[in-house]
Structure 1
Amino acid sequence: MSSVFRADSPSPGVDAQSFRVDLRGIVDLLSHHLYASPQVYARELLQNAVDAITATRRADGGDPRDTGRIEVTSGDATDDGSLTISDNGIGLTETQVHELLATIGRSSKRDELGFVRHEFLGQFGIGLLSCFMVSDSIEVTTRRAGEPTVLWHGSSDGSYTVRPAPDDGQRPEPGTTVTLRPRPGCGQLLSRASVTELVEHFGAHLPHPVTVDGRRVTGGPAPWDRPADETAAQRRDRLAAYCEEVFGFAPFDVVDLAVDEAGLRGVAFILPMPANPAVPAAHRVYLKQMLLSEGAERLLPEWAFFVRCVVDTSELRPTASREALYENDLLDDTRDRLGEGLRGWLVRLSRQAPGRLKEFLRVHHLGVKALALHDDEMLRLVTEFWPMETNAGPLTLREFHARYGVVRFTPALDEFRQLAPVAAAQGLAVVNAGYVYDAELIDRLVTVDGGIEAEALRAADLTTHLERLTAAEERAVAPGVAAAQGVLARLGCDLLVRSFEPSGLPTLYLLDGDTAFQVDLREAREQADEVWTAILGSFQTAGEARPRLVLNHRNALARQVLALTDPELRATCLEGLYVQALLLGHHPLRPADTAALNQSFLGLIGRAVAGGAQ
């Protein structure tokens, strides 16, 4: 095994030096730290066997599925607990054994066998080192057609030997046999039960028959296959059973996937329950029908978090550990194409089964809305099929526009809660656009469809839709308003008197997002040091924006409070109405608000008790 790496040619007059590499450390690094689990040794042995069969059958011009075979003998079937895996592939000559099995990183498939790289599973020439995780030595018996059998023996300390096989070790046909003897504590990984499980796990869909101790453990249709004798209903049932076994859920629907440029074919399973978009979706990926990863991420666009898929690819590149896909332009293009396939499924669903689409949107509307932000067809689906919350009941944007014309909306959930009942009483229909993506979708709808007009209704805007008092009414309440302004000023609030429905609502607290920001900014400045006070001051706007408490002149209680002549009682009542308005609008209570609540509550009880005692 080569023990040095050469640097580039030095400059003239500089002595050339060689890198010195500890091969034992390299072996330990690759075999114990490159791979996630020692179980991958089975995958790497299967990979080498498949590639050897592929090479010899390509050389013969035949179909490797006709005569290729892989035979595994577990530790339970041998006297010393060793495992062997044999194939009838191309085999190696003694020269190739020296060159290929003893050079880390050299790919026999690319450099020596002379075939195009994408025909083979392995690309890095390091897979055999994974066997050192379960065995301190690897023995390879191999024979090329027309050549004698060669025996290669490698140890985890970095040494190896090559010699002709003895007479009783000659292979009767070309091919390779790899023998592993278990390291202490690793015997279980070479047992019949473990080996059978691993072979079925990694190689269940390989195109060659694989046997363990004489029993075939591979075969049957892969998820992406379409057997000629299988009906559509039978395939659907088979895939649903596969999804439940592998992913743990019965799919809402099954979508076939294909990307020719990536040699990809597969199936997407639509989740029947909500998925967390913050958790990356994990997919099952096969490379030339060998399992590459059960947790591959970023195979689909980010918006498709409601999908789990199983795919087989022949062109996408694996990483060195062969446990993930390599990020490159082809993977980016594949991701986009798979997204187009899922988008096409949604469009077909909207035309062929609109009821099913509505059922899907009830569960996965978030992903579709994310896609609709930059896709016109998905925007159409959301507009026509997704009912949004309004103060007139659930309505799609298309229904809302047809019924009310202008699409009035509140961009914040809290604003909708405080404005919705009052706006409804004034005859104003309002859409709650406070949920994720809703406000952006309305803005985009206006841009795409020139016939739709939208208007954001903020708390400050609602006052323009409330009826002003007559001149006589304003004069009558002016003394009470002036006195009330002083009480509310202590709470950082302005007073406004208007007439509006419902008349049973005495007050309305109006606070839009910009005003809330300025209020928070002022409170932060009061508690900050000099440096932060100056910094926060740069964000403050001219004038003092304050929330408004609107008293309803149509409410008898509100009029009576303004008409009170007892300053203490008037202040107590105003504080009580103020806190009630906060609670009805789902606003958080500050310490000053809590104090006002206690003071008004206890003050009114005290008045009532005192009056009852008289």
Structure 2
Amino acid sequence: MEGDHAQLRTAGVDLGGLMTVLGQHLYSTPLVALRELVQNAHDSIVRRRLEDPQPPVAPRIVVSGDIGARTVRVTDTGTGLTDAEIHQYLATVGVGYTRGLRQAGAGSDELIGMFGLGFLSAFVIAERVTVHTTSYQQPGRGWRYQSSNGEQYSLSPAPAREVGTVVELLLRPEHARLAGEDYLARVLGRYCALLRVPIFIGAAAEPVNPEPPPWRDPDAGNEHPVQARKRQLRFASRFESQFEPICALPVSAPEHDLKGLLWVQDGGTYGNSDNRNLSVFVRGMLLDDDARELLPSWAGFAGGVIESSRLMPTASREDLQRNDAYRSAQHAISEALIVGLAALAREQPEAWRRILARHNEALLGAALGDARLFELLAGEVRIPSSHGELRAGALRRDGAIHVGLGGGGFEDMLFRMLGVPVARGDRYAVLPFLRQWVQRHGGRLIEIGTEQGNRQLFTEQSLPQAELDWLREVLADGEKLVPARFAPAELPLMAVPDREAELKRRLESDEADKRISMTALRLVRGFTAGIDGSAQARLYVNLDNPAIQALLDTARRDPAAAAPAARLLKAIKQLMDSHSEADGQGPRLNGALAAIGDSALRLLPPQAASIAATQAQDEQPTA
């Protein structure tokens, strides 16, 4: 019975739906249709070289446009098509002669097409497509194909032409600008920059791809290094639209089938600025002009052009498949950049100085990405500090490097008095860079504001509980009071924010819950669980300071007599603290100044204080 046997049927193709996919989802820009047509012309020329015993001596592709007529023509000297090939390849979705050649092993390093969709993209921008073609197999016959949608088409005999094909598009009105020859030259000059077949625009005498890239030139090995660098920079400038390249770094990884050129941009980078740009060519055709993820994440100052036949495009041929070849290319490009920078430092000191000047902050982060980079940069990059930008070696004093984790404040006050520079640990990559630096070059890293760092700065002491309670009452504003000895002795007390407690509060807040993934948040809270966040700051009272010693001596005999001096010291503390956190400190600063003035009056003889008060009263404006 019929129901007892499975029936094999041919699936239909809804070209209307497919055109929607092509026009709205697969291709990001209508320019891709021009690329696909030039690519088809290129593959036809490669095919003719492989199959025709007498191919043309000078193969070429000519792209011409007429904005008034809204037409674009792509003419090639390739194989041309017979009527059977038009039916089999041109008019059948997903079937392409190029793929068959590649599978047979012929011209696999040069043929570009893969999916049999390229010709169909013409209907995304054209309301009518006409093809005139003559095959090298039937040089006396010509054919004319015409279609308005790619689904229905007419095919008729036509006068024979020169062997090859002319594809003519009548553009939709919204795409008429694509017919401008200046526009075509600019677009195809980028898309086709590495094609071996010359591409001419209209009647132009020079192709848009006039010279091979530096790594393909057979005479490159005989050039003087200065001339080679100039040619590399000239090539890089064609692709670097925003910046001037400072230097060029060759990429050559035959084991990964990867060749190309990287460069360092002259535009300054700050912190983790990301100006990476990388153009990827596959078999000579631009595939992706924003393949920045192939560059290492630390190289925010780098651009490049590479080509490979191993990298696999997606169906749109506007992106790359993230496969093993992609990951191998990432590794090879990173290696070329690291090795190239090291060679640059040795051989081109002037260019190296320009790179260091423009990309100092970015290079701080880059140094953390690879041990070789760290060794290269450890003595070169400059660290932002309270004394300006200094190399790490200049920050080390008496075997220690001091780094502040906040934006200035008490750290500046303390170390200005000591004459010691403080690195800005809140700036991009500074803290992890310095941690690695002291591991490799010796010394101590004192992270001010952390418990461990504070122990190295402030030697804690003990006091009787009664004295400790009295000091807390007269000097503290919620800080944890800690009697200590520290330099300089001239500094009576210092309020030190607990940077670890600040981190704990930030990361455990509701806002952090929204910004950080649950997995990361669990790890963070595992770290912050061991941090005592009960005190926002510690108030270190310097027992080496004469004023503190006198204050304690007086308080032991007569606490009331010591109160004015204590109030003055507290106001000084508040005044110093008001500079460490700028936001919302106006009232606190005003209160500290008022307290200093009042304390000074209380310390003066009663008669002098009374006169000053009377004068102030007299100077008040009358109602």
Quick check: TM above 0.5? yes
Which residue is equivalent to 1:183?
172
Which residue is equivalent to 1:272?
266
Tell me the CA shift for residue 480 of structure 1: 6.8
Matched, 1:311 2:297: no
Tell me the CA shift for residue 198 of structure 1: 3.7
Counterpart pick for 2:242 among 241, 248, 253: 248
Matched, 1:203 2:192: yes
Query: Relative to structure 1, is the Cα distance of residues 419 and 605 closer, same or farther in structure 2, using a 3 angstrom cutoff?
Result: closer
Cα distance in 1, alignment partners of residues 405 and 129 from structure 2:
66
Query: Relative to structure 1, is the Cα distance of residues 31 and 104 closer, same or farther in structure 2, using a 3 angstrom cutoff?
Result: farther
Counterpart pick for 2:65 among 40, 56, 74: 74
Query: Relative to structure 1, is the Cα distance of residues 248 and 559 closer, same or farther in structure 2, using a 3 angstrom cutoff?
Result: same
Asked whether the equivalents of residues 498 and 538 of structure 2 are also in contact (C-alpha less than 8 Å), the reply is no
Please give the TM-score of this superposition, normalised by the length of structure 1. Answer: 0.78
Which residue is equivalent to 1:507?
493
Cα distance in 2, alignment partners of residues 520 and 326 from structure 1:
39
Q: Would you say how many aligned residue pairs link Structure 1 and Structure 2? A: 573
Matched, 1:133 2:133: no
Query: Relative to structure 1, is the Cα distance of residues 54 and 355 closer, same or farther in structure 2, using a 3 angstrom cutoff?
Result: closer
Which residue is equivalent to 1:284?
279
| 2:478 maps to amino acid | G
Cα distance in 1, alignment partners of residues 70 and 418 from structure 2:
85
Task: Summarize deviations over 1:155-176 as a string: whole Å, max 9, x none.
Answer: 216212333x13xx222x4322
Task: Summarize deviations over 1:233-275 as a string: whole Å, max 9, x none.
Answer: 4454454455556423222212222232454332222112323
Asked whether the equivalents of residues 209 and 216 of structure 1 are also in contact (C-alpha less than 8 Å), the reply is no
Which residue is equivalent to 1:345?
340
Structure 1: any 5+ residue segments left out of the alignment? Answer: 1-9, 525-535
Query: Relative to structure 1, is the Cα distance of residues 127 and 517 closer, same or farther in structure 2, using a 3 angstrom cutoff?
Result: closer
Tell me the CA shift for residue 521 of structure 1: 10
Secondary structure, counterpart of 1:573 in structure 2: helix
Any residues of structure 2 matched to 1:485-524 within 5 Å, and which? Answer: 485-488=472-475, 491-498=477-484, 500-516=486-502
Matched, 1:150 2:136: no
Which residue is equivalent to 1:436?
428
Which residue is equivalent to 2:620?
none
Cα distance in 1, alignment partners of residues 143 and 259 from structure 2:
40
Matched, 1:221 2:211: yes
Query: Relative to structure 1, is the Cα distance of residues 446 and 199 closer, same or farther in structure 2, using a 3 angstrom cutoff?
Result: closer
Any residues of structure 2 matched to 1:10-409 within 5 Å, and which? Answer: 19-60=11-52, 66-75=57-66, 82-111=71-100, 114=104, 115-147=106-138, 148-156=141-149, 158-163=151-156, 165-166=157-158, 169-171=159-161, 173-218=162-207, 219-224=209-214, 226=217, 228=219, 232-241=225-234, 243-244=236-237, 246-275=240-269, 277=272, 279=274, 281-352=276-347, 357-388=352-383, 396-397=391-392, 404-405=398-399, 407-409=400-402
Asked whether the equivalents of residues 378 and 392 of structure 2 are also in contact (C-alpha less than 8 Å), the reply is yes
| 1:41 maps to amino acid | A
| 2:321 maps to amino acid | Y
Q: Which moved more, 1:25-34 or 1:98-107?
A: 25-34
| 1:254 maps to amino acid | A
Query: Relative to structure 1, is the Cα distance of residues 366 and 12 closer, same or farther in structure 2, using a 3 angstrom cutoff?
Result: farther
Cα distance in 1, alignment partners of residues 64 and 457 from structure 2:
84
Secondary structure, counterpart of 2:560 in structure 1: coil
Task: Summarize deviations over 1:548-586 as a string: whole Å, max 9, x none.
Answer: 2223456566566664726874564344123123135x2
Secondary structure, counterpart of 1:46 in structure 2: helix
| 1:74 maps to amino acid | G
Cα distance in 1, alignment partners of residues 467 and 385 from structure 2:
36
- State the superposition RMSD in angstroms: 4.2
Matched, 1:582 2:569: no
Query: Relative to structure 1, is the Cα distance of residues 439 and 89 closer, same or farther in structure 2, using a 3 angstrom cutoff?
Result: same
Asked whether the equivalents of residues 264 and 355 of structure 2 are also in contact (C-alpha less than 8 Å), the reply is no
Which residue is equivalent to 2:619?
none
Asked whether the equivalents of residues 50 and 107 of structure 2 are also in contact (C-alpha less than 8 Å), the reply is no
| 1:180 maps to amino acid | L
Secondary structure, counterpart of 1:119 in structure 2: coil
Task: Summarize deviations over 1:55-94 as a string: whole Å, max 9, x none.
Answer: 11122478x89421223343379xx654332212122222
Cα distance in 2, alignment partners of residues 32 and 120 from structure 1:
27
Tell me the CA shift for residue 314 of structure 1: 3.4
| 2:32 maps to amino acid | V
Task: Summarize deviations over 1:515-551 as a string: whole Å, max 9, x none.
Answer: 4457889999xxxxxxxxxxx9995867955632223
Asked whether the equivalents of residues 448 and 454 of structure 2 are also in contact (C-alpha less than 8 Å), the reply is yes
Cα distance in 1, alignment partners of residues 351 and 66 from structure 2:
53
| 2:253 maps to amino acid | V
Query: Relative to structure 1, is the Cα distance of residues 81 and 398 closer, same or farther in structure 2, using a 3 angstrom cutoff?
Result: closer
| 1:50 maps to amino acid | H
Task: Summarize deviations over 1:297-321 as a string: whole Å, max 9, x none.
Answer: 2121112221111233333222322
Tell me the CA shift for residue 126 of structure 1: 1.0
| 2:493 maps to amino acid | T
Q: Which moved more, 1:593-602 or 1:499-508?
A: 593-602
Secondary structure, counterpart of 1:565 in structure 2: helix
Secondary structure, counterpart of 1:74 in structure 2: strand
Which residue is equivalent to 2:538?
548
Query: Relative to structure 1, is the Cα distance of residues 265 and 185 closer, same or farther in structure 2, using a 3 angstrom cutoff?
Result: same
Please give the TM-score of this superposition, normalised by the length of structure 2. Answer: 0.77
Asked whether the equivalents of residues 298 and 369 of structure 2 are also in contact (C-alpha less than 8 Å), the reply is no
Any residues of structure 2 matched to 1:398-477 within 5 Å, and which? Answer: 404-405=398-399, 407-410=400-403, 412-414=405-407, 418-419=410-411, 422=414, 433-445=425-437, 449=440, 452=442, 454-459=444-449, 460=451, 461-462=453-454, 465-466=457-458
Query: Relative to structure 1, is the Cα distance of residues 397 and 94 closer, same or farther in structure 2, using a 3 angstrom cutoff?
Result: same
Cα distance in 2, alignment partners of residues 41 and 519 from structure 1:
55
